[in-house]
Amino acid sequence: MEPNGIVAFGAYVPQLRLARQAVVQANAWFNDVAQSLAKGERSMCNWDEDALTMAVEAARDCLQGVDRRNVSDVVLASTTLPFADRQNAGILATALNLPEEISTSDSGGSQRAATTNLLRALKSASADPAALTLVVASEKRRAKAASTQELLFGDGAAAVLLGAKNPIARFVASHQISLDFADHYRGEGEDFDYSWEERWVRDEGYRHIVPRALAGLFEKAGIAPGAVDRFIMPGAVAQDMAKRAGIRADAVADGLSGVMGDAGTAHPLVMLVHALERAKSGEKIVVVGFGQGSDAILFEVTDAITTLAPRRAVAGSLARRRPEMNYQRYLAFNGLVNIDRGPRSELDKQTALSALYRNRKTVLGFVGGKCRQCGTVQFPKSNVCVNPNCGAMRSQDDYPLAEARAKIQSWTADNLTYSPDPPQHFGMIVFEDGGRLMADITDVAEGEIDVGMPVRMMFRVKDYDERRGFRRYFWKAVPADTPQTAN
């Protein structure tokens, strides 16, 4: 069996970027020390985004041009998944229209869950050389208002596709250390992480654990530390760890702290994807995950990197940027302030799980129908073709619409309907190859929508049943090219 390597990658960073200066100014009366962290910005989920919706977008980016029938395993790593007892990776696989005959699993409990599962998948070579494993990591961590974490955290997701055929980055070697060193933790039922003293974490944690993992890696790989071209490790300690391990200072990758913050479990993969976007054949890349031990993984970039089709990845996500100066909006979107939503929000939003199951392809996978008789595309799929000149019965095949090009035929901005971010935008979305639906439009501000505007569909939170703790998902339209305007 051929060893696995990375054959494709993708990423997603929300378009909203909260200016740290806005946070510092709002809290300076209480915590003036945070002024030292006022530079730059952090990525911030819109109200209808979470770890699962970001995972879907990163995976869609990764799977461009891939025959999804070859995906045999899906692993989703996060410490902030929306469901504690409903498999989130199963929702992810359904949204991606992957085959039902696959393995899906959630993974969490540590900030190195992504690198651990990446390594596990790399070592689990399939007997089928065409089989692919999708490893996705996504994180939306909440932090107390006026805390340092609020400034340092960021939301984001990344995905890598593993396989044995024509990898763009070949897996070379790895070394792992498992050690119950608690630099921080979040207990059951708690909303926020509790962090320990920084100097103790640095001196007794990072400096004792990471160099051991790197030394073991270099011994197994048979290379010198100076041969590393890109050293990927989240956090401000990366330069120190590289120096202690003998890795060149110029090999240390940008941690992206100034433009998006730290995406927790997902951040090693976010940085890896960012490195692969610019990597050249022959480069040696070391990825380190830290959390109750350390993972150290070595890749070597191959000539196949030049043949990979362009994708959004990290650079494209960072370019899709909307500055956010309203700190109160950030607090509201993250449930950190209890605002009066008004009587229009007081609706019973119970979801019929039986109906959701029966219509899972339509709702989660955004699958319509295409008539075998006349070729008409429609959404939703039904027993009767909507073409008045056809009307054929039970003639429709599944037709996924998530990747189809579309435009706005008509739209409105409604200030009467309840929305967590008013006004609520919605309109008639028409697909290039046929089919239409009335859909919500998100990631827009007032005055940015026009008839004929090209849009793409994104998997988002439709609404939240607070009484029963259930999130309902559906697809919404977003501008294909989002303007970079301040709120």
Q: What is the pLDDT of residue 98?
A: 97
C-alpha pair distances (Å), 360 with each of 59, 95, 424, 475: 19, 9, 25, 12
Q: What is the pLDDT of residue 339?
A: 85
Token reading at 348: 């019973």
pLDDT in tens, 130-147: 899 999 999 999 999 999
Structure-token match 């971010």, residue found? 421
Task: Give mean pLDDT, residues 289-318.
Answer: 96
The pair phi, psi for residue 362, each rounded to 5°, is -70, -50
pLDDT in tens, 85-104: 999 999 999 999 999 999 99
Amino acid letter, 330: Y
Please check whether residue 463 is in contact with residue 472, taking contact to mean a CB–CB distance below 8 angstroms: yes
Structure-token match 């494993």, residue found? 133
Q: Residue 380 pLDDT > 90, yes or no? A: yes
Taking the C-alpha atoms of residue 353 and residue 336, their distance in angstroms, rounded to an integer, is 29
Sequence-distant contacts of 357-360: CB under 8 A, at least 24 apart: 360/94
Q: What is the pLDDT of residue 485?
A: 38
C-alpha pair distances (Å), 249 with each of 216, 226, 240, 253, 453: 20, 10, 9, 9, 46
Token reading at 238: 């990366």
Taking the C-alpha atoms of residue 251 and residue 296, their distance in angstroms, rounded to an integer, is 15
Average pLDDT, the chain: 94
Domain regions of the chain by residue span: 5-182+195-333, 362-479
Amino acid letter, 473: Y
Taking the C-alpha atoms of residue 464 and residue 449, their distance in angstroms, rounded to an integer, is 26
Banded pLDDT at 428 (limits 50, 70, 90): very high
Q: Residue 173 pLDDT > 80, yes or no? A: yes
- Return the C-alpha torsion angle 451, 455, 459, 462, nearest 10: -10
Beta-carbon contacts of residue 57 (< 8 Å; ≥ 6 apart):
12, 157, 458, 459
SS3 state of residue 53: helix
Q: What is the pLDDT of residue 484?
A: 40
Please check whether residue 213 is in contact with residue 295, taking contact to mean a CB–CB distance below 8 angstroms: yes
Banded pLDDT at 435 (limits 50, 70, 90): very high
Residue 485 is classified by DSSP as: -
Banded pLDDT at 483 (limits 50, 70, 90): very low
Beta-carbon contacts of residue 180 (< 8 Å; ≥ 6 apart):
292
C-alpha pair distances (Å), 466 with each of 80, 175, 347, 461, 470: 17, 44, 10, 13, 7
Taking the C-alpha atoms of residue 295 and residue 288, their distance in angstroms, rounded to an integer, is 5
Q: Please state, as a whole number, how many other Cβ atoms lie within 10 Å of the Cβ of residue 389.
A: 7
For domain 5-182+195-333, say whether CATH 3.40.50.2300 is its number.
Answer: no
Q: Residue 159 pLDDT > 90, yes or no? A: yes
pLDDT: which is higher, 482 or 142 = 142
CA angle 325, 327, 332 (to 5 degrees): 130
Task: Give mean pLDDT, residues 401-408.
Answer: 96
Task: Give mean pLDDT, residues 183-208.
Answer: 93
First CA to last CA distance, the chain:
53
Banded pLDDT at 347 (limits 50, 70, 90): confident
Structure-token match 């977008």, residue found? 57
Taking the C-alpha atoms of residue 254 and residue 245, their distance in angstroms, rounded to an integer, is 18
CA dihedral over 251, 159, 439, 416, signed as positive or negative: negative
Taking the C-alpha atoms of residue 441 and residue 474, their distance in angstroms, rounded to an integer, is 12
Banded pLDDT at 35 (limits 50, 70, 90): confident
Please check whether residue 163 is in contact with residue 7, taking contact to mean a CB–CB distance below 8 angstroms: yes
Token reading at 255: 């941690």
The pair phi, psi for residue 106, each rounded to 5°, is -100, 150
CA dihedral over 448, 453, 459, 461, signed as positive or negative: positive
- Residue 380: asked if its preceding bond is cis (omega within 30°), the reply is yes
Task: Give mean pLDDT, residues 193-211.
Answer: 93
> pLDDT > 90: what percent of the chain?
87
Strand intervals (E) in 78-200: 103-107, 132-139, 156-163, 169-178, 184-185, 194-195
pLDDT in tens, 441-474: 999 998 899 999 999 999 999 999 888 989 999 9
Lowest mean pLDDT of 256-270, 328-342, 393-407, name the range: 328-342
Lowest mean pLDDT of 122-126, 199-203, 319-323, name the range: 122-126
Strand pairing class (284-290; 230-232): parallel
- Residue 454: asked if its preceding bond is cis (omega within 30°), the reply is no
Q: Please state, as a whole number, how many other Cβ atoms lie within 10 Å of the Cβ of residue 200.
A: 11
Please check whether residue 52 is in contact with residue 90, taking contact to mean a CB–CB distance below 8 angstroms: no
C-alpha pair distances (Å), 337 with each of 45, 214, 328, 333, 403: 16, 43, 8, 9, 36
pLDDT in tens, 50-82: 999 999 999 999 999 999 999 999 999 999 999
Task: Give mean pLDDT, residues 181-190.
Answer: 93
